Amino acid sequence: MFEPNPPIDLSSGKYLKLWQGPQHPGITGNMSLELITRGDEVVDCKTHVGYLHRGFEKLMERRTFIQNFPVVCRIAVPEPTFNEYLYAAVVEELTGIESPPRAEWIRTLNLELMRLASYLMWLGGIGAAFGQSTVYQWTVTHRDYILDLFEEMTGARIYHMYIVPGGVRGRLPEGFEDRCRDVLNRVEKLLHDVEKVLFNNVVFKTRTKGLGHIPKEMVDPYGITGPNQRAAGFSRDLRKDAPYLVYDQLEFDLITATESDTYARSWVRYLEMHEGIRMLRQCLDRMPQDGPFQAKMPNVLHWEVPAGETYIKAECTRGEYGYYMVTDGSEYLRRVHVRGPSYTHAIALMEKLAVGTNIADIAGLMVSLHTYPPEIER
Amino acid sequence: MSLKDLISPFYVWQRAFEKPYTQKRPIEDRPGAPRYRGFHMNSEECIGCGTCESICQNHAIDMVPVEGLEQRAGDSGLRPRFDYGRCCWCALCVDICTTRSLHLSNHYAWVTEDPDAFHFTAGTDAMPWNQNSLGYRRDDDYHLLVHDRVEMQALSAEESVAGFDEVMRGYTEEEAVLEADRCVECGICVATCPAHMAIPDYIRTVRKGDYEAGLRLLYETNPFSSTCGRICTHRCETVCVMGYQGDPIAIRWLKRAIVDRVPQEKYREILGDEVEENGKTVGVIGAGPGGMSAAYYLRRQGYAVTVYEAQARAGGMLRYGVPSYRLPDNQLDKDLEYIRSLGVEMRFNTQVGRDIPFTQLLDEHDALFLAVGLNQPSALRIAGEEHPRVLSGLRVLDDVASGKDPGVGKRVAVIGGGNVAMDAARVSRRLGAEVDVLYRRRIEDMPADPEEIRESQAEGCTLVPQAIPVEIRNASDSNQVTIVWGEAEMVADDKGGRPRPVLQEDRMHEETYDCIIAAIGQGGQIDFIPAEFRDRIEFKWNKFVPGDYQQTGLEKLFVGGDIANSRADAISAIEDGHHAARGIHRFLSGALDG
Amino acid sequence: MNTVEEILDFAIDREQQAADFYSNLAERVSSAWMKDMLLGFSKEEMRHKGKLKSVKLGDKLLNADQHVQDLKIADYTVDVEPAEDISLQDALIVAMKREKAAYRLYSDMAANIDDPELKSLFLGLAQEEAKHKLYFEVQYDEQIMRDN
């Protein structure tokens, strides 16, 4: 498991080298897999990244602390909110600013809505990868309903730029709670339909069961987190193990499985969507209706953050997402490092899991790891 | 494999007839959410402070001049131009906007053949969304700036009336940093400050705790920083952009915060004391802020400077007109001492015209700077004014400054609403009198500084607005005096000036006081200029009208201060002095022809 | 004075006298700036004279009904002598009192005449003088009573 794949003699004429990506038109695009195949069996895989490198970590060193908050959301396109939250949390920790309780609830609502939207897109992805593109149409439509909610809450559908150091940027719009509940009901109903169409589908079951098995002992050495880890039988979740925001006040169950294959990972995510809806309903019912949503801030134009360093992590859809930041007391940060789960999952793990699979299953396997290439390359 | 797994997927037909959620743009229009971050809009409240430009992380905003924009004070004349090739619609510019003029519309789709159209000046260029009422606005409870001023510790009204101790106690270092932190460094104030001090720069030195650099910056434009840090009329604060949504930056107090932290002994070390003599000599008439400011900058350039002053001490109105609870003597001396230490020669008790003829000065010096100020109190010119219990405000302040008792008695009426009137009233309070202040207009029309008005009220002075004195009579007690005054109605001025009071002859009042202090205004006295020069000097009303660099038609004569500007405050006099010093230097080096 | 022409000539003559008064005073005063100012007053009177001359040629006078603000400053200031050492304050008092006297003169004349055409001419002249007085009162208000 930890040894390199055995060397392959390409000149033997038994093998074919096949590139998948980087122009792959799916959710797995923007990175590429260099596959060595024998027939339609994959015998070796090398992962290549670097096609989407925008240098965010470096860009952030040249911007003031307030100027960075519109930057960070771009690090993970389908899931910007986790970046916004973690950046805010890191700056708040280093400055000693505490965001008020109302903001903490709104942030939690935001993160869970984001998780639901992100999972919906993934759910479509896994369906499409195994020939169920109807599911993709359904889920992306429902994701649009959630993006509508984001649009009215934050002013934008994708790059919300809503969670800022100190709190959030505005109160919830009038009547938002009702519209949000309505969307949750619709998504819940959809999930039941998807269960019938996708998870109880003989084709899906046959193709995904046993595909991309991650042995339990591989999990920690490969830094596997999130649903990929929980599907391998680990009950670990930062929302339970190191609660942040208001997660310690919410009731939700930790979903695990033991089979650790593509089906198990998909099923864990499916059940987590239900847990997410449960948490969102609690947020809507219990969040404070008034009070400040922003801490008292200094003048952000020349905001000097005291010298220090910190690492803050949160559970995103793919696992542990973390921000490490070093400051030197100036108006600019000294160094920031973003730890995204896609990095570990998509590069090292994929090379191992691909060996022995079928070419037709490669896309589905990648989706089952739920990686976002923009987040691999900060 | 179960049978259920074969049949279940056919459930997909259940949703086969659902309508698509996708919009058919551009056939169907879909407006953005009410909070949508679309294209920029800017309203007339914009004053071009450029804070949006500073915060934009993409450099998508340029402040550009706009044609046809009406010039006004506190407006840079620039407006933000947006480059949509760079903008990321984060709306930080909206959040930081000091006047809240900048918004985003909920308009997000715009098609045009002209690529340059995506580079426009919001609010000025005609855009399809300019009338949009929806779009992103900053929430009322969300702030990226600090709107509340750090208040300075002050004596309570009871403590301050008890003596002549300075009322305002100064900022602590921590308070000063907090207040300095609020500044957005837009520089709108610089244009309004008569001396064009480097305000954002010296505020930054407070924030950084670098008071020596701060002092050097102050002295570039103002050698009366300790004084101005206390009693400046702070026009800068009236245009401060932070004033649009909260309190303007306490610019004056921050100037004081710098000076308060540099001991006098270090001035020469920090600012330097070397003067390279250039062999020329300049005479300065009047040792007030204007004269001494000119003396300072001339001396710095190597001129031998002699200052002629009628009084026994330097400072002019700052010493004889401003009471020590606003400006303690030692603070004024701190400023004056450093100027004198550079080798400025002082001739006290020397009144030009009386002790030394004007023509002699003109002959002895290569150039003259005249800043004699306005020291002649205007008379009431109403019947009975010659009553011995009618005093002038300037005389009362002068007496107090010189340590004499002006003998105001127990019940005083002050006539006037300027700073002299307020000071005369507050001084009388400190001398134990009850004080009524009679003023012809409304309290909001008073030319005195708002804080002087506020503090005088706090100290127990009674303000009687819209009261016009018409006659002064003998009272039954010869040590008292009776004033007759009538109520005034305010009428609008046709030509747009301040409203004018009109006496209502049917509403007259009579009141008896121990004394009446008249402080209705001051005029100047320049009869010492011989008639032979008069045709070469231009006057308007009672003021000089100097040309460029404060020069008069009599080439060697430069004028400034209250006698030559309409603002008649210390900072304007200081600037006149500085400006004249530059003018004299150019004149004497042949760069300025008469 | 029975014709419009005669009345206007009388008024024109009065303005000339006033102009002469100020220019004579300007020659006598000792202060440099007072001279300029008094010459300015004199010019102002000459301007009034010019206005009346153009009335003679057909221009309209101020309508007698038009309201001219009376600040009543001239009413309560003491009389001052136009001496050589006259100050700006006193010069303004002299000026506004002179205009006030002229206003009174024309008002009285209007009261004592029955011919409606001549009556309205006198009232018009009175209004002109009231306007001149207002000018000096406003200057007094602005320049002298800055703080009051």
Domain at C32, CATH number: 1.20.1260.10
Report pLDDT for B594.
47
Q: Do B36 and A156 touch (CB under 8 A)?
A: yes
A49: Cβ contacts below 8 Å, ≥ 6 apart: A31, A346, A347, A373, A376, A377
Whether A contacts B, i.e. 3 or more CB pairs less than 8 A apart, is yes
Give residue-wise pLDDT tens across range A21-47: 787 655 566 788 999 999 999 999 999
| Chain segment B340-387, per-residue pLDDT in tens | 999 999 999 999 989 999 999 999 999 999 999 998 898 899 999 999
> Which residue positions in chain B have pLDDT lower than 70?
1, 592-594
Asked if A105 and A94 count as a contact pair (C-beta separation under 8 A), the reply is: no
The span from the CA of A284 to the CA of A289, in Å, is 10
Best CA proximity match to B470, nearest among B379, B381, B377, B378: B381
Q: What is the dihedral of CA C37, C41, C44, C49, to 10 degrees?
A: -150
Measuring CA to CA, how many Å separate B58 from each of A62, A69, A77? 11, 12, 19
**Category of A202 on φ-ψ map: left (φ > 0), alpha (ψ -120 to 50) or beta:** alpha
Q: In this predicted model, which residue has the larger pLDDT, B534 or A105?
A: A105
Tokens 């060193």, located at residue? A61
Cα(B327)–Cα(B316) distance, rounded to whole angstroms?
13
Output the pLDDT for position B593. 57
**What are the structure tokens assigned to A176, written together?**
């938002």
Q: Which helix (H) or strand (E) holds B157?
A: helix B157-161
Q: Which domain holds residue C51?
A: 4-144
Q: How far is A300 from chain B (nearest CA, A)?
A: 6
Q: Which residue in A309, A310, A371, A368 sits closest to A340, CA to CA?
A: A371
Output the CA–CA distances (angstroms, integers) from residue B452 to B163, B165, B455, B459, C12, in the order listed: 16, 15, 5, 10, 51
Q: Alpha-carbon distance B93 to B34, whole Å?
A: 18
Q: How many CA atoms lie within 13 A of B452 on its CB side?
A: 27
Q: Do B439 and C148 touch (CB under 8 A)?
A: yes
Supply the pLDDT for residue A192. Answer: 95
What is the tens place of the pLDDT at every residue in B150-172?
Answer: 999 999 999 999 999 999 999 99
**B502/C70 Cβ within 8 A:** yes
- Choosing among C31, C72, C147, which should be mutated to test the B contact, i.e. which has the most B CBs within 10 A? C147
Evaluate the CA torsion angle A121, A127, A128, A130 in order and state its sign.
positive
Which domains does chain B show, CATH number per domain? 26-144 (3.30.70.3270), 166-269 (1.10.1060.10), 281-375+524-588 (3.50.50.60), 377-521 (3.50.50.60)
Is the pLDDT confidence value at A150 over 80?
yes
- DSSP label at A332? B
At A378 the pLDDT is 79
CA-wise closest residue to B164 among B431, B437, B455: B431
Residue from B541, B557, B559 to probe the interface with C (highest C Cβ count within 10 Å): B541
Closest by CA to B473, choosing from B508, B434, B523, is B508
- C-alpha to C-alpha distance for A139 and B314, rounded to whole angstroms: 84
Cα–Cα distance for residue pair C128/C105, rounded to 1 Å = 12
The answer to whether the CB atoms of C147 and B418 lie below 8 A apart is yes
Gap between the Cα atoms of A129 and A207, Å rounded? 11
Structural domains of chain A, with CATH: 72-302 (1.10.645.10)
Tokens of A306: 């005291």
Whole-angstrom CA distances from B121 to A166, A258, B67, B70 are: 32, 60, 11, 16
> Across residues C53-75, what is the average pLDDT?
80
Q: Provide the shortest C-alpha distance from residue C123 to chain B (in Å).
A: 22
pLDDT-above-70 percentage for chain A: 97
- The reply to whether residue C144 touches residue B520, judged by beta carbons under 8 angstroms, is yes
> Residue A45 and residue B227: Cα distance in Å, rounded?
78
Residue to mutate among B378, B520, B538, with most C CBs inside 10 A, is B378
Q: Quote the CA–CA distance of A154 and A148 in Å, as a whole number.
A: 10
pLDDT over 60 at C53, yes or no: yes
Write down the ipTM of this complex: 0.90
Which residues, other chains included, contact B38 with Cβ-Cβ below 8 Å and sequence gap of 6+?
Answer: B32, B89, B104, B105, B106, B107, B108, B129, B132, B135, B136
The answer to whether the bond into B263 is cis (omega within 30° of 0) is no
Q: Is B89 on the interface with A (CB under 8 A)?
A: yes
B430-452 residues labelled b (16+ CB within 10 A) or e (exposed): bbebbbbbbbbbbbebbbbbebb
Confidence (pLDDT) at A27: 57
B251-260 and B173-181 helices, crossing angle to 10°: 140
pLDDT at A374: 82
- How many distinct structural domains can be found in chain C? 1
| CB-based contact B340:B444 (threshold 8 Å) | no
